[in-house]
Structure 1
Amino acid sequence: MTFEIVKREAADFGGLVLPRRELGSTVHATDLMKFTRERIHQRGIDDLTTVYVAVPDLGWSAVVGYRCAGLDDLAIGDVLVRVPAGYFAKFLPDGRSSDPIEDVWLQAEIAEKEGRIERAFTEEVESLRSPSSVELFISLA
């Protein structure tokens, strides 16, 4: 497992909300997540981003969508979420799993269990540019 610590600038993302999602290596494989990603792809969006947002007393919500420059780029009916600037652990697939999304989440889970990263449990970003090109940014404390 390899990861790097990166500083990300604040960024806005728009998309569709999936409430009460669990974080981890299997969340991307649920039928609802697959259905929502397909709806975004049908809009002609290839660089798909999922932002996981901690919601007090509810757990996590996922915003499945795209990076946008602001409100003018937001599609009607979509929500806007801002990921603040900060430090993140960036994971890339390393072959632990044949599924690249599962791969990066497994790496993050192992890194946390081994004490190699301390998660902040704030916004976490999963970027999917192609079926095999995945980046996972885990917020750090």
Structure 2
Amino acid sequence: MFFLGRGTDYNTSLEGSLKLKEISYIHSEAYAAGELKHGPIALIENGITVISIITDSSLVEKSISNIQEVITRGAKTLVVTNQNLPNANFDFVINIPETNPLISPILSVIPLQLISYYISKNKGLDVDKPRNLAKSVTVE
């Protein structure tokens, strides 16, 4: 599974990918969407899931272009957005409220956390006790 984002949405994609790995044990990677054509696009194949976060109105056009690239390679797409996006044949869209750009990452990470949660529950995993994950950091 791949997560894509531009600007602050890239940070959100990193968190979404990490959460998925931590509680569902599914390999995922987050990429800055602008870097997609510089390597990661080679990993996109039929049936792979790509989650894209789009909350910055100035980056909508470029972000949609990235999504179209993965769609043409057979990827399943899920978009988390607060923008009015043109119908671009996304498989799923999760709309979040438009708000202050500093708050958008908080709102956009919630659906990603819920996706990870429900994937884990569907796999029969204990989301409250992920394996090999420490709840605290010890500094020596």
TM-score above 0.5, yes or no:
no
TM (normalized to structure 1)? Answer: 0.27
Structure with a larger share of its residues in strand: 1
Larger Rg: 2
Q: Which has the higher contact order (CA 8 A, sep 6+)?
A: 1
